[in-house]
Amino acid sequence: MATVTKTIRKPAAQLRLPIIPENGDTPAVDKKDAVFNDPNFSSNKTLPVHRWVPWIAGFSSGFVKSALDGFLRKKGTVLDTFCGVGTTLVESILGGHNAIGFEINPYAALASRVKANAYHIDIDEFTSVIDDFRQFYKKMTSSKYKPYSAPPQGFKTRALFYNPLVLHKVLIVQDFVLAIEDDTLRDLFRLAFASTMVSYSNYSYEPSLGRRVSAGREEIHDFPVAKAITDKLADMAEDIAWMQEQMTPNNLKVQIINDSFFNCRQHLPTESVDLVITSPPYLNNYHYNRNTRPQLYWLGYAQSPEDLKKLEDMNFGKFWQTVRDCERLDLSFALSHTGIQERLQTLRNLNKEKGSYGGNGWANYAAAYFNDCHRFAEGIHYVLKRGGTALVVIGNSILQGVMIPTDEYFGKIAESVGLELVKIDIPRATRVGNSIIQSDVRVAKAKSSHQLYEAVVVLRKP
């Protein structure tokens, strides 16, 4: 990962921003001009602590580390406004910084909290409980033991989530986990189960959660559930020992806030953060909360669809399904000479014959998204210290065949609330997003000239 250099802080007038052609095609992106390396999350899958929880999106740990090295020369406070499963937080405390994360999804918030605080765990005590689990599981599966745990009543799926043999084993696991008295150790086991639970179910991520048979895979009738969980627990124990070796005695503060960043004023004082490293949900309609339904129900965070609806209402931007039938949604802020209104109107006029599947529904979705971008920028301005920096990773989008330069628009929105737009960097000139740009039903197919990319919008509070 390349080190971030001071040359990134150029006067705003000298910025080299993507130029958006009037026909809406994607600008040519020169990757060699990028200061940051690719922030793609996939490299985390084999790294200590980061490998604990599979996640559909997020930062690479190397991206975060390079950002910390480049923008925090001494101990400071780092904030991730959409912290997911905690990559920014883990790298921040490993680097000797205080860390704060906001996350609306309670499963992801659990993962962040467990990972960021793992270096406090007593390894001997943890490994002892793992041994107890092995003995308990072996004894109960070799007897006529009837688990007292039960599947969550509100969790409904079109097909059996677990076949009977697998379900029996899962419920034995639940009995043991519920009996662990220490909250911290219990959460490690809960996370080990939650991060593996889909792998022995009749569902899979493709990348959205769906039935295995729909993806051409066979159902799972039996599975070594205990091995999957103990393998994960062994990884955790190994990584905790590694983490403790990396950490020097300190009084670092880690705070994971299970709430929307839009409520940051209720949780944080103004000008309390040195560096923001974050990535909001992209304008691609990916439903993070719906794709963690199994974890939310089995961990006890959801009992009914109403609980998921609350998370949906808190989401950054409104989902297309929730705004497509509205007559018209407009921007809640005034910002001239940006092209946002014009692009929205172009989108709104497309495919009117498709009704809610046409351009108006997608224009409503984009307008709601940029309204939240404005609220997001105001929140960054509130929390950042003067001279502090925010690095916002964001991807462009293609709706109804219309390219939406989200990075450029967000940069202009940030300027309008008093932040300085330092630079827009393109570390990832090509990314995959066919679920949103190639659908025959919901959107017009993308032109061959269109290209999805990922940008780092660098902001500074003067």
**pLDDT recorded at residue 37:** 58
Question: What residue spans define the domains of the chain?
Answer: 6-106+248-290+316-460, 123-245
- Per-residue model confidence (pLDDT) at position 264: 98
Per-residue pLDDT of 171-223, as tens digits, reads 999 999 999 999 999 999 999 999 999 999 999 998 889 999 999 999 999 99
Which residues 6+ apart lie within 8 Å of 97 measured at CB? 68, 72, 75, 76, 77, 78, 252
d(CA 395, CA 355): 27
Residue 450: predicted pLDDT: 61
pLDDT at 151: 97
Instruction: Spell 37-57 as b/e; 16+ CB within 10 A means b.
Output: bbbbbebbeeebbbebbebeb
Three-class HEC string of 241-299:
HHHHHHCCCCCCCEEEECCCHHHHHHCCCCCCEEEEEECCCCCCCCCCCHHHHHHHHHC
Q: Which two tokens stand for residue 71?
A: 């923008």
CATH number of 6-106+248-290+316-460: 3.40.50.150
Cross-strand partners of 102: 257
Rounded distance between C-alpha atoms, residue 207 and residue 201, angstroms: 15
CA distance 57 to 281: 9
CA gap 102, 79 in Å, rounded:
8
> Which stretches of the chain score pLDDT less than 70?
1-44, 57, 249, 430-450
Residue type, 444: A
DSSP letter for each residue of 155-192: ---SS-SS-HHHHHHHHHHHHHHHH---HHHHHHHHHH
Q: Could you give the 3-state DSSP secondary structure of residue 55?
A: coil
Q: What is the pLDDT of residue 218?
A: 96
